[in-house]
Amino acid sequence: MIKKIVFAITFLIFTVMQLNAQQDIDMADTFRENGKIYVVVGILSIVFSGIIIFLIRLEKKVARLEKEQN
């Protein structure tokens, strides 16, 4: 489970690094100027965190059900 969390965090870090490389997007510049980019990043972080937590809990439930069947 810890490996999955580390992988997810690493993936998010590389994604953010790629987003920083794409500096010529007008919409992103507008969001940065208005300070709304932090709201967008915050909401995306919450959504992805929720998905990751959901998948981890689902994996635990499936593993427990598989163990009960054997």
Nearest by Cα to 8 from 48, 46, 58: 48
d(CA 47, CA 69): 33
Q: What is the pTM for the complete model shown?
A: 0.55
4 or 27: which leads in pLDDT: 4
53: left (phi over 0), alpha (psi -120 to 50) or beta: alpha
4 or 61: which leads in pLDDT: 61
pLDDT in tens, 24-68: 667 777 777 888 888 888 999 999 999 999 999 999 999 999 999
